[in-house]
Amino acid sequence: MSGGVDSSIAAVLLKEQGEEIVGLSMQLWKENGRCCSLDDLWDARRVATQIGIPYYVLNLEKDFENTVVRPFVETYLHGETPSPCILCNNYVKFHHLVEKAAGIGANRVATGHYARVKYDEALGRWLLLRGRDRNKDQSYFLFGMTQDQLSKTIFPLGDLTKPEVREIARLRGLPTSEKPESQEICFVQGRSYADFVEEYSGIEANRSGDIVTEDGEVVGTHAGIHKYTGRPQYVVRIEPQLNRIVIGEDPQRTSFTVRDHNWIAIDKLTEPIRCDVQIRNRFEPKPATVSLQNDEIAVEFDAPQRAITPGQAAVFYWNDVVVGGGWIQR
């Protein structure tokens, strides 16, 4: 329970279905000795009290720093664009939190994600599907879930739309019904990513280097590679070893490989498959072929795509079903 409306309603719905539930919040990050999400935890506690469920705050600061914050910073310093929310789902929520829940005797964990889980008898596998609300769908952020994790997960909002969720909250008079969406990465809050990376890693704010063309011609100076991502139109590539940023034509590519992949709808890749591939959060999936090449998972789009960004996740879909995914490497 984050204190937001989604997880609050997830709890409300389960409670109304007669499930025996325990509300849990995660204390993840502290800055200057203050918990950054304290007000939100108070909201979560108020909701839990209102619906009459036990509620606890679990301290997962260490796990969060090790598996989300540090990799986030390191990814930037390597010239890639990180996806901390996916790491948080993979490691903090569906690994450490699930384990803590098991410790207090809870055999399943529910969250307020907009996604669906179902067991497919024919395949003998747990499937992850997009949420019914295509605008809010969060399946992209969940591609790392294992079969074991999916078997213990409930997404009560999977069949609802955000407006429906707000309406439920309003009707129940929940204190969080009108809370705005959180848009920022929780631990960065109110700063630029570059500022956070500097503060956390203790690197000098100004680590200037060259901006060069593909031919190696120096055309300018940058103030630190962590201030750039592959997304702005003309950054072709970031070379951390040389502290250089390469600019050029907006690159359109059809193929790339992924690392640390995870399969959900299939056990493993034995022959090439056709699917739709999503390469960032707000991106309409495009048809592609996914195959095994030299022990690596390779993706070949039917048509060239812009901004295939190292560090972002590529998630493979069969319509609403998540086949699997991995991290874009080049």
Active site residue ranges: 88, 186
Give CA angle at 23 (20, 27), nearest 5°: 155
Residues 202-225: b if buried by 16+ CB within 10 A, e if exposed: eeeeeeebbbbeeeeeeeeebebb
Span of 49-57, 145-153, 159-167, 222-230 interacting with other proteins by CB under 8 A:
49-57
104-143 residues in contact with other proteins (CB under 8 A) are 104-105
Cα first-last separation, the chain: 36
Nearest distance from residue 126's CB to other proteins, in Å? Answer: 22
CB of 104 to other proteins, least distance (A): 5
Q: Which two tokens stand for residue 67?
A: 């598996």
Of 103-111, 193-201, 209-217, 268-276: span binding other proteins (CB under 8 A)? 103-111
Tell me: does residue 329 bind other proteins (CB under 8 A). Answer: no
Using rule CB under 8 A, residue 36 touches other proteins: no
Tokens 């879930």 locate to 145
Query: CB of 105: closest distance to other proteins in angstroms?
Result: 6
Sole window of 3-11, 96-104, 246-254, 299-307 interacting with other proteins (rule: CB under 8 A) = 96-104
> How many residues line the site for other proteins (CB under 8 A)?
16
Q: Can residue 186 be called a binding residue for other proteins (CB under 8 A)?
A: no
Dihedral of CA atoms 148, 270, 138, 69 in degrees, nearest 10, equals 70
Residue 283: both structure tokens together:
């991106």
Binding mask 54-93 for other proteins (x = CB under 8 A): x-xxxx-xx-------------------------------
19 C-beta neighbours (distance < 10 Å), count: 14
For helices 193-201 and 70-77, angle between their N-to-C axes, nearest 10 degrees = 100
Q: Which residues bind other proteins (CB under 8 A)?
A: 22, 27, 35, 54, 56-59, 61-62, 99-100, 102-105
